[in-house]
Structure 1
Amino acid sequence: MPLQSTLSGRSSGSSRVLDTQSDGKSFEELRHECLMKGVLFEDPDFPATDSSLYYSQTVPVQIEWKRPKELCENPKFIVGGASRTDICQGQLGDCWLLAAIASLTLKKEALARVVPHDQDFDRRYAGIFHFQFWHHNQWMDVVVDDRLPSVRNQLIMVHSASNDEFWSALLEKAYAKLHGSYESLKGGSTMEAMEDFTGGLGEVYETKNAPNNLFSIMKKALDRGSMMGCSIDISSSAESEAKTSTGLVKGHAYSITGLEQVNYRGQTVQLIRVRNPWGQVEWNGPWSDNSREWNYVDQAEKNRILQNSTEDGEFWMEFQDFQRNYDKVEICNMTPDSLTDSTKRHWELSMFEGNWIRGSTAGGCRNYIDTFWTNPQFKLELEDADDDDDMCSVVIALMQKNRRKLRMEGLDLETIGFALYEAPNDEDHQGKDFFRYHASKARSRTYINLREVAERFTLPPGKYLLVPTTFQPHHEADFLIRICSEKKAQALEMGSNVDADLPDPPMPSPPEEESDEEKGLRRLFEQLAGSDQAISVRELQQMLNGVLSRRKEIKFDGLSLNTCHSIINLMDVDNTGKLEFQEFKVFWEKMKKWIMLFLSFDTDRSGKMSSYELRIALKAAGMQLNNQLLQLIGLRFADDNYDIDFDDYLTCIVRLENMFRAFQAMDKLKRGRVNMNMMQFLMLSMNV
C-alpha cells in the first residue's frame, strides 16, 4: 500500500517505537507481570524449540536452551562497556551481522538505542530482555527471553569472549526473532545490519572505480554524522586477516573517523583517518604516526588535526594512498530519524512504501515495454542546488521488504532496480508511449538480487520521474523507497488521485425519433417484458446475450447473472429491481462505448484484455484509480494469465460507476468524504 512520509530537519531520535509482541504488551509491562508473579519470562512468539533455529533442516546436534544463570554463576548483561571483543562468531554464517555489531560499538549513542541499558541480571531480572531495530521505516522494540541455544553448557551462536557477558548473544537472538529464525540470518551484507541498527541509508563504493569527488562525498557524509567503514578484498580464505608490509590487514573491517585537507609544502593534500578496531596494528606509510610529512605542516594546523587522534589503531594516510590500498568504502548515511542534536548538518529525507502486484503493478524493467509503464511511479522535484555547486546531490535507495522472513515460504530476494526520467508537469501516471519515446536520465547501475539497491546521483535542479521495478514482470514484492538530498526535495506518488468524471446521461429520445437500432431493441424488449413493461435480471441477461452474440467481434461466453444484477443496480433509478425501456436505452448508449473501449484493448479478438491495461481503460471511461485500487481489482478479476474477459470487464466498470455515483450523491459538499451509519453502509454494499 503506497504511503508517503516525509521527514526533514534534525531529529533527536525520539520517534515512536512499535511494540512487536503478539499480545500487544510492552517490555516494561511483560517484565512487571513476571516480577509480580515471581516467574521467568518464556516467549511464546519465539519459543525455545528447533523451529526458532532452522526452517529447512534438522538441528544437527542435541540443543539445550539455557538461561545465563544456568551457564555461569554471576552473569552480566554488559561488562566494562560494550566493545568489539564482546562479539565472537558461533556456528551460524552471519559474520556480516557481527561486523555491523562491532561497528555499532564505536557509536555509543546508536548503540544505546539498539541495546537499551535499562536491563541486567539485577533485582529487576525476570528472564526478559529487549532490543530496538529499524525495520522498513519503523523502529521496532523486540522482546526475547534469555534462553539461549547451547551444547554442553557452551553457547553455539554469537557469544562474548567473556563467559559471563551476554548482551551480544541476546542481541543476535532478538534479530533472529525479527526475521523468523536463526537460519534466516545466514548470508548478508554488513550494510544491511548497519541500516537496521541506525535507520541509516547505505552506499557502497569500489575505491578503484569511485567517482572523482569521492573525498567530498565522504567528507559531507561525516559532517552529517554518517558511519563509514572500509576494507581490503581477499582473493582466498588464506589471505583473511593477513597483514601487509604497510601494516594494513586484508579482509578486515576498518572504521573511517576523519577527513581533512592540509597545506603541505605549498600544496593542498587530502588526508583520511582510519581506525583498526584491533588497536596497535597500523599503517606505517606516509602521514602515519611520527612520519616526516608532519614536520612540514603548520604547527597550529598539526595540533588541530592530531588532537583527537590518540587512540591506538587510529592513523592518518593520504587519500590517494587510501584508494590504492583499500578496495571498498561503505557509508551508512544517517537520516533525520538517526541523528542527534550534536550533528553539524543533516540530510533531507522522503520515503514511500509500495508493492509490485502481478496483474496490475508488477511491470518488470524497461525490457518489457508493454508492462513497464504499469510499475509505481514517483515524482521528485529538486529545487535548490547544493551549497558548493549548481547541481543537486541525491541518494535513492530501493529496498525490498521482509524477504528474510519469506525465505521460510520458499521466496528469496527479487532482482530489483530503478530508472529516472525527466518528469512532465502533470501528476498523472505516465503511459506506455511516454517511456517508448523518452530515454532515462539516470538509473541504478545494475539489477541485482540484494535487499537494497542504492545509488548517488548529481543532477541539475528539475523534476524527475522515478520508476522502481523488479527485473521480470509478474514478480511480487513489497518495497520501500528512500530519497536523501542535501537540500529539501518535493516528492509525491504519480497517479495517486482517485476521481471520476461521470456526466449525467442524455435524455433518451422519444419513440417517434428512435433510430432503427433502438426500434429493433424496443421490439426485443417488449417480447421479454411483462405487463409492467419492465424486464427482470434474467430477462436482461437473455436480451443482452442475444444481442451481443450477433456481434462477431465480441468473443465471450455470455454475461453472468451477477453482471446483469450490477447493471440493474446502476440503471434502476426508480428502485423497482427491474429496467424499463427508457432506462435500458440509456444503458445501451453506455454499453456501446464500453464495447468499443474493450475492443481497442482486445487487439487479437480473443475476448480478453490484459489486466495491466485496466488503468487506461478505466481512465477512458472517466474513472481514475490509484495503485491500491488497481491492485485489488486485478486480484479480483484477472485470471492466471493476467487477462480479464468481457464479462468481468463489464462487471468491473459497471460496479465502479455505481459506487462513484453513489458516493457523489452522498458527498453533497464535494469534500471527498462522506459519513454513514451501519444501515446506510449495508444498504449501499448490498446494492452494488
Structure 2
Amino acid sequence: MTGNSSEFYALRKRLVETRSLFIDREFPPEVQSLSPSGEFSRHTSIRRIEWKRPVDLSRDPKFVSATATRSDLDQGALGNCWFVAAASLLVNGPRQHFERVVPLDQGFDDNYAGIFRFNFWWYGHWKEIIIDDYLPTDGHRLIYCSNWEEKDEFWGALLEKAYAKLRGSYSALDGGKLVDALVDMTGGLPETILLSNRSEIPHNFYDLLWKSSQMNSLVGGSIYLPEGSARPEQRRANGLYMGHAYSITALSVVPWRGGSVKLLRLRNPWGRKEWVGPWSDDSSEIRNLPMEIKRKLNIVIEEDGEFWISLEDFLDNFDEIQLCHLQPDAISQELAHDTRKQNWSVTTFHDAWIKGVTAGGCGNAPYQKLYWKNPQFQVHLVDPDTTDNRQKCTMIVSLMEKEISKSKEIAIGFDVYEVRDSRSRPLDDEALPQTALIHRRGSGKYQFLRAVTKRFEFPPGYFVIIPSTFNPHEDAEFLLRIYTEKNVKSEVIDENNGPGTITPMVRDNMSTLFTKYAGEDGKMDYKELGIFLREATRVELKEEIRFNSEACRSLVTMQDKNKSGYLDWEEAKRLLQDIKIYLAVFRQFDANRSNHIDTLELGSVFNKLGFPVSRMVLTSIVRRYGGRNRKLNLDDFIIVMCKLVIMFDIFQEQQKKTGGPDDVAQFTRNEFLQYAMFC
C-alpha cells in the first residue's frame, strides 16, 4: 500500500496493540511480486522461493546495525546493480537525503509489527511506500540485496522491496539506469556524459566531477554490454564487468613520480570482484605509496568490492558517467563558471504525447507538419541573473518520460525557440517564420533515456519549449521541469475553446426540395433530414452523401433552437450552409478521398472552421472516436462538430443565467443530465 506517515503510524499502532504482523495485500509475498509473468529472475538458478521475515532469519535482526554505510549493500541474484549502486551513493551522501528515503524511526524493537515505510520521489511528488517485511529467500538466506558482512541488518533488503513495489515487481528492477534510481531517491536533476568519444568529453572533466562531488552530487559509471551478448554481465581480464554499473565514492589527486595522478574510488555493488589493474588493491602503485597517503586514501586491502582507478584507465574502460545533482548549480556546464546560485525557482508541467493528438515526433520527413502538434510551453524570462553582469537568464530544462513499461523504449528530446512576443496560440509551420526569432537550442540528439537535461543562458524574452519523441504516434506521459534563478511566467500554449468567425458562403434556395421531403407539418425529423441531405448534396456538391442516423440526429439538434426535435425550412437552410462549410474543410484534409482524416489534423481542421479547441478536448474526441488507427470518418466528424457547437451554446446560455466568470457555468444535476442527453 501507499500512504502517508500518519497512516503508517496508525496502522502500526493497531497491529502492535493486536499483536499482529502486517501482510501487504497490494504486494504480497507471492510469485506475482517477483514477476508478473510468474518466472523468476534470469540471474538465479533457484526454482523455489520462500518468503521469510527478518525475525525468521536472524535471532537479533536490526533495521540499521549502527550507522548505515555504503558497504551495507551487496547485490544478490537480480540484475539490479544500478539500484544497489545508487543506494550506496545515497547512503554515502548527505545524511538528511538518506533518512528522507529510509526513515530510521522503525525497526524490530517494541513497535515491531512487520510493517515498514520508505519514501521515493516519483515524477514530481514524494510518495510513501508501505510494505510488509516478507523477503524472498532460498529457505535459509536472502537471495537478493543483503549485507554480507552483517547478516542481521535488513534496511537494504527492505528498501529494495519497497522500490520493487514502486516499479511493479522485483523483475522490473532487472536491468536499468543508475541515474534513474538516483532521481527516484532524491528528486535531483539527472545528467549523463558519454565517454565513448574522447573528443566530446569536457576538457575539465575531472574538475567537473570534483566540483560535483563537493556539491553533493551523486555519481556513478557504467560499462556497456557488447551487442548480442547472451550473458547479463561479462568479466574483462582487468576485473571490470561489462553490462555493469559502479558507484563513484571518492576522488583524490596524489603525488606520483614527480607529478600527480588523478584517482577515482569505485565500488562494485556485488561487494566483491574488483579492478586488478594499476592502483588496484594489490598493485605496485598502492604498495609504493607513502603511509600517510595510504591513510588519506583509506586504503583497505581486502575483497570488499571497492578499489581505486586512475582517471585515464577509467576513461579507457567506462562508457558513460551518470550524475544526479541535488541542486541545479551542479549541472556540468554551470560548474565551469564556478558559481553558487541559491533559491532556484522551479516550474513543473505534467503532460503527455497522445497518439492522434499530440504525438507529433521530431519533425523528420515525411512528418514535418506533425511536429507542431507536440505540447508547447511558453516561458517568459523577465529579469537577468543577479550572480553576474552579463544580462543573461539561466534556464535549466529537464524532460522526463514517465515510465509505464520497461519493454517500450522511446527516444526523447526537446527544442527551445525564442519568439518575439507572448504566444496565445501554439507555434506551427506557418506562424514560425513570422514569430520565432531563432531556433535557439535543444537537448541535442534524441536519446533512449528516461530523462534528458540541458542548461541554457538566454537574454530576457519569450521562449517556447517543445518536447517530443523521436518517432511520431508514440504514446507516453512526461514531466517537464524548468529551473530559473528568478521567478518566471510560464504556461501551456493551447487553443481556446469556442467558435470564431466562419467565412460566410452563399445560401442557395432549396425550399422546393425541402417541401418534398418534409412532413405534413412542414418540418423534418432526423430520418427525413437524411433523405433530404442525400439529394441536396447530390445537387449542390455533385456527390451524394449518406449521413448515418446518429449524424442526422446531431445535425437536427445543432439547429433545433427551440428543442422540438424537428427542423423547419429556415433551420434546414442554415444547416445546409454549415454542412457545406464542414464538408469543404473535411475534404481539404482528406486529400486521398478516403472519407477519413487523421486525428492529428483535427486541431488544424477546427482552427480552419474558426472553432479552436484545447488539447484536453481534442484528447477526449480522439479517445472516443479515433479508434486504434486514430482516424475520424465523415459521420463522426459531423457528430463531433455538432456536439461542440451545441455544448458551447449550452454553456454560454447557462453562464449568462448564473453569472460569474466567463469560463464558469453552474448546472443542477437534472440540468446537467438533460443537456448531456440532448447532446
Q: Which of the five TM-score ranges fits, normalised by the shorter chain?
A: 0.7 to 0.9
SS at match of 2:92: coil
SS at match of 2:373: coil
Instruction: Report if the CA contact (8 A) 1:568-1:577 is conserved.
Output: yes
Partner residue in 2 for 1:254: 248
Provide the C-alpha distance between the structure 2 equivalents of 1:311 and 1:56, rounded to a whole number of angstroms.
47
SS at match of 1:579: coil
Partner residue in 1 for 2:163: 175
Does residue 330 (structure 1) correspond to residue 327 (structure 2)? The answer is no
Provide the C-alpha distance between the structure 2 equivalents of 1:381 and 1:218, rounded to a whole number of angstroms.
32
Does residue 528 (structure 1) correspond to residue 521 (structure 2)? The answer is no
- 1:227 is displaced (CA, Å) by 1.5
Instruction: Report if the CA contact (8 A) 1:199-1:335 is conserved.
Output: no
Counterpart amino acid of 2:548? S
Partner residue in 1 for 2:499: 501
Does residue 687 (structure 1) correspond to residue 678 (structure 2)? The answer is yes
Provide the C-alpha distance between the structure 2 equivalents of 1:272 and 1:555, rounded to a whole number of angstroms.
80
Q: How does 1:368-383 map to 2 (within 5 A)?
A: 368-383=367-382
Partner residue in 2 for 1:675: 666
Partner residue in 1 for 2:424: 427
Evaluate the alpha carbon distance shift between residue 331 and residue 130 of structure 1 in structure 2; reply closer, same or farther with a 3 A threshold. same
Does residue 579 (structure 1) correspond to residue 578 (structure 2)? The answer is no
Provide the C-alpha distance between the structure 2 equivalents of 1:551 and 1:654, rounded to a whole number of angstroms.
21
- 1:219 is displaced (CA, Å) by 7.9
Evaluate the alpha carbon distance shift between residue 156 and residue 581 of structure 1 in structure 2; reply closer, same or farther with a 3 A threshold. same
Partner residue in 1 for 2:357: 360
Query: In terms of mean alpha carbon deviation, does 419-428 or 150-159 score higher?
Result: 419-428
Which whole-Å deviations, capped at 9, do the CAs of 1:123-153 have from their partners, x for residues lacking one? 1100110100011111111011111110131
Provide the C-alpha distance between the structure 2 equivalents of 1:468 and 1:57, rounded to a whole number of angstroms.
37
Partner residue in 1 for 2:454: 455
Partner residue in 2 for 1:9: none
Instruction: Report if the CA contact (8 A) 1:227-1:331 is conserved.
Output: yes
Evaluate the alpha carbon distance shift between residue 593 and residue 25 of structure 1 in structure 2; reply closer, same or farther with a 3 A threshold. farther
Q: What is the aligned-residue identity percentage?
A: 31
Provide the C-alpha distance between the structure 2 equivalents of 1:221 and 1:462, rounded to a whole number of angstroms.
30
Instruction: Report if the CA contact (8 A) 1:228-1:256 is conserved.
Output: no
- 1:68 is displaced (CA, Å) by 0.6
Instruction: Report if the CA contact (8 A) 2:341-2:485 is conserved.
Output: no
The answer for unaligned runs of 5 or more in structure 1 is 1-18, 244-249, 260-268, 295-308, 509-514
RMSD over aligned Cα atoms: 4.0
- 1:316 is displaced (CA, Å) by 13
Counterpart amino acid of 1:684? Y
The answer for unaligned runs of 5 or more in structure 2 is 41-45, 226-233, 254-258, 272-278, 301-306, 331-339
Evaluate the alpha carbon distance shift between residue 125 and residue 646 of structure 1 in structure 2; reply closer, same or farther with a 3 A threshold. same
Counterpart amino acid of 1:166? F
Counterpart amino acid of 1:114? V
- 1:103 is displaced (CA, Å) by 0.6
Provide the C-alpha distance between the structure 2 equivalents of 1:322 and 1:457, rounded to a whole number of angstroms.
29
Instruction: Report if the CA contact (8 A) 1:241-1:251 is conserved.
Output: no
Partner residue in 2 for 1:228: 218
Provide the C-alpha distance between the structure 1 equivalents of 2:299 and 2:578, rounded to a whole number of angstroms.
78
SS at match of 2:182: helix
Does residue 166 (structure 1) correspond to residue 154 (structure 2)? The answer is yes
Does residue 492 (structure 1) correspond to residue 491 (structure 2)? The answer is yes
Which whole-Å deviations, capped at 9, do the CAs of 1:183-222 have from their partners, x for residues lacking one? 0001111111110001111112246424467688668866
Partner residue in 2 for 1:8: none
SS at match of 2:574: helix
SS at match of 2:395: strand
Aligned length: 616
Evaluate the alpha carbon distance shift between residue 436 and residue 636 of structure 1 in structure 2; reply closer, same or farther with a 3 A threshold. farther
1:54 to 19, 35, 41: 35
Which whole-Å deviations, capped at 9, do the CAs of 1:579-616 have from their partners, x for residues lacking one? 11111222222222222222221222332222111111
Evaluate the alpha carbon distance shift between residue 171 and residue 57 of structure 1 in structure 2; reply closer, same or farther with a 3 A threshold. same
Evaluate the alpha carbon distance shift between residue 284 and residue 326 of structure 1 in structure 2; reply closer, same or farther with a 3 A threshold. farther
Instruction: Report if the CA contact (8 A) 2:403-2:450 is conserved.
Output: no
1:418 to 409, 414, 418: 414
Instruction: Report if the CA contact (8 A) 1:417-1:444 is conserved.
Output: yes
Does residue 400 (structure 1) correspond to residue 396 (structure 2)? The answer is no
Provide the C-alpha distance between the structure 1 equivalents of 2:219 and 2:507, rounded to a whole number of angstroms.
80
Which whole-Å deviations, capped at 9, do the CAs of 1:318-374 have from their partners, x for residues lacking one? 9999989987543322259x9xxxx97243322111111111111111112131111
SS at match of 2:562: coil
Counterpart amino acid of 1:522? S
Provide the C-alpha distance between the structure 1 equivalents of 2:223 and 2:502, rounded to a whole number of angstroms.
70
Evaluate the alpha carbon distance shift between residue 335 and residue 580 of structure 1 in structure 2; reply closer, same or farther with a 3 A threshold. farther
Counterpart amino acid of 1:396? V
Instruction: Report if the CA contact (8 A) 2:381-2:461 is conserved.
Output: yes
Which whole-Å deviations, capped at 9, do the CAs of 1:196-255 have from their partners, x for residues lacking one? 0011111122464244676886688668x5413254869972356669xxxxxx974224
Provide the C-alpha distance between the structure 1 equivalents of 2:298 and 2:529, rounded to a whole number of angstroms.
88
Provide the C-alpha distance between the structure 2 equivalents of 1:384 and 1:220, rounded to a whole number of angstroms.
28
Instruction: Report if the CA contact (8 A) 1:229-1:256 is conserved.
Output: no
Provide the C-alpha distance between the structure 2 equivalents of 1:390 and 1:435, rounded to a whole number of angstroms.
26
Counterpart amino acid of 2:131? V
SS at match of 1:535: coil
- 1:168 is displaced (CA, Å) by 0.4
1:658 to 623, 646, 665: 646
SS at match of 1:583: helix
Does residue 42 (structure 1) correspond to residue 40 (structure 2)? The answer is no
Evaluate the alpha carbon distance shift between residue 613 and residue 216 of structure 1 in structure 2; reply closer, same or farther with a 3 A threshold. farther
Evaluate the alpha carbon distance shift between residue 619 and residue 504 of structure 1 in structure 2; reply closer, same or farther with a 3 A threshold. closer
Counterpart amino acid of 2:379? L
TM-score, normalised to structure 1's length? Answer: 0.80
Instruction: Report if the CA contact (8 A) 1:226-1:331 is conserved.
Output: no
Instruction: Report if the CA contact (8 A) 2:360-2:371 is conserved.
Output: yes
Evaluate the alpha carbon distance shift between residue 632 and residue 194 of structure 1 in structure 2; reply closer, same or farther with a 3 A threshold. same
- 1:30 is displaced (CA, Å) by 2.2
SS at match of 1:133: strand
Counterpart amino acid of 1:414? I
Evaluate the alpha carbon distance shift between residue 230 and residue 173 of structure 1 in structure 2; reply closer, same or farther with a 3 A threshold. closer
Provide the C-alpha distance between the structure 1 equivalents of 2:577 and 2:245, rounded to a whole number of angstroms.
73
Provide the C-alpha distance between the structure 2 equivalents of 1:613 and 1:584, rounded to a whole number of angstroms.
29
- 1:461 is displaced (CA, Å) by 3.9
Greater relative CO, 1 or 2 (CA 8 Å, sep 6+): 1
Which whole-Å deviations, capped at 9, do the CAs of 1:76-130 have from their partners, x for residues lacking one? 1000111111101110000000111101112310011000112110111001101
Instruction: Report if the CA contact (8 A) 2:187-2:326 is conserved.
Output: yes
Query: In terms of mean alpha carbon deviation, does 131-140 or 376-385 score higher?
Result: 376-385
Counterpart amino acid of 1:41? F
